[in-house]
Amino acid sequence: MDSRPIGVFDSGIGGLTVVKEIMEQLPNESIVYFGDTARVPYGSKSKETITKFSFQCINFLLEKKVKAIVVACNTASAASLDAIMQSYDIPIVGVVEPGAIAACQVTKSNKIGIIGTESTVSSGAYEKEINVINNDVKMVLKACPLFVPIAEEGWQDTEIAKLTARKYLEELKDKNIDALVMACTHYPLLENTIGEIMGANIKLVNPAYETAKVLTTVLHDLKIQSKSNKNSNYEFYVSDNPVKFKKVGENFLKRPIAYVQKIEIEKY
């Protein structure tokens, strides 16, 4: 038994979709979340910059005495997970591998769609991960950057979301894919809209959900689960604008956020 918290970080608010899944699947665990709201988006930045930011996020979380780290950001996982894994001696779970495994499990046609930020799409991380699991799988990738501000505005179920989703996704519909990975923290909020456009025959894969499942196994295998939820505690830190984070974050988390503290991430 280990009651130390899980550290979770993201480029901003989106990682709360992963936190939501961890809270549901692992209610005994405490969580320290860091959202890099001063430097979001990561999705348009270079691998070097994203890697430097990821190291700083982890250094901050380590100061909070976390027992494991979840890289909730698809962009950060895609760009920097290899470098991170080589540098830290703590269990680290990214979102790309869990999403890739789930997509390979659900596809029957061996044709998978992947939607994410520009950086995730151009990183090749999902192709690499999926082809390690099944070399016969073919992929179609598409960046859908406008889904991020739509989710942050809380417009996920509006006509604007539908029109945007149609514009991005229509071309994926005649590519014979039967699974679509929502490879960005924000996209699960648009799950209904994306599902409506893609139709019932295309299974949507949510890496946030899959990551919480993998985290459960990691904690269990290492025997570092927390046994009791009596003291489970959630702390939220950001690098800018805690008031906005609290307001928008409650839409992502579907529960109230008590308090958000601003920290100086450049120090780490």
The residue ranges that bind ligand DGL (CB under 6 A) are 10-12, 14, 40-43, 73-75, 116-117, 120, 148, 184-186
- Closest distance between ligand DGL and the C-beta of residue 156, in Å? 14
Q: Which is nearer to ligand DGL, 117 or 225 (CB)?
A: 117
Could you tell me what percentage of the chain is helix, strand and coil, using 3-state DSSP and rounding each to the nearest 5?
Answer: 50, 15, 35
Catalytic residue status for 57: no
Give the CB-nearest residue to ligand DGL.
43
Do 228 and 28 meet the contact criterion of CB atoms below 8 Å apart? yes
- Closest distance between ligand DGL and the C-beta of residue 107, in Å? 22
Q: Which of 234, 242, 253, 216 is nearest to 98 (CA)?
A: 216
- Closest distance between ligand DGL and the C-beta of residue 174, in Å? 26
Q: Which of 57, 104, 144, 184 is catalytic?
A: 184
Catalytic residue status for 104: no
Q: What is the layout of strands, in order, in the sheet containing 6-10?
A: 92-94, 68-71, 6-10, 31-35, 234-238, 260-262
Q: Which is nearer to ligand DGL, 187 or 234 (CB)?
A: 187
Q: Which is nearer to ligand DGL, 120 or 193 (CB)?
A: 120
Exposure letters 33-50 (e unless 16+ CB within 10 A, then b): bbbbbebbbbbebeeeeb
Measured between alpha carbons, how far is 86 from 101 in angstroms, rounded to an integer? 22
- Closest distance between ligand DGL and the C-beta of residue 76, in Å? 7
Altogether, the residues listed in the chain come to a count of 268
Q: Which is nearer to ligand DGL, 35 or 242 (CB)?
A: 35
Q: Which of 57, 73, 104, 144 is catalytic?
A: 73
- DSSP state at residue 27: T
Q: Which is nearer to ligand DGL, 11 or 54 (CB)?
A: 11
Q: What is the layout of strands, in order, in the sheet containing 138-143?
A: 138-143, 111-116, 179-183, 203-205
* Partners of 234 in beta bridges: 31
Helical (H) or strand (E) element with 92 = strand 92-94
Q: Which is nearer to ligand DGL, 12 or 67 (CB)?
A: 12
- C-alpha to C-alpha distances, 159 to 85, 150, 193, nearest whole angstrom: 42, 11, 9
- Closest distance between ligand DGL and the C-beta of residue 202, in Å? 21
- Closest distance between ligand DGL and the C-beta of residue 233, in Å? 24
3-state SS assignment for residue 229? coil
Residues annotated as catalytic are: 73, 184
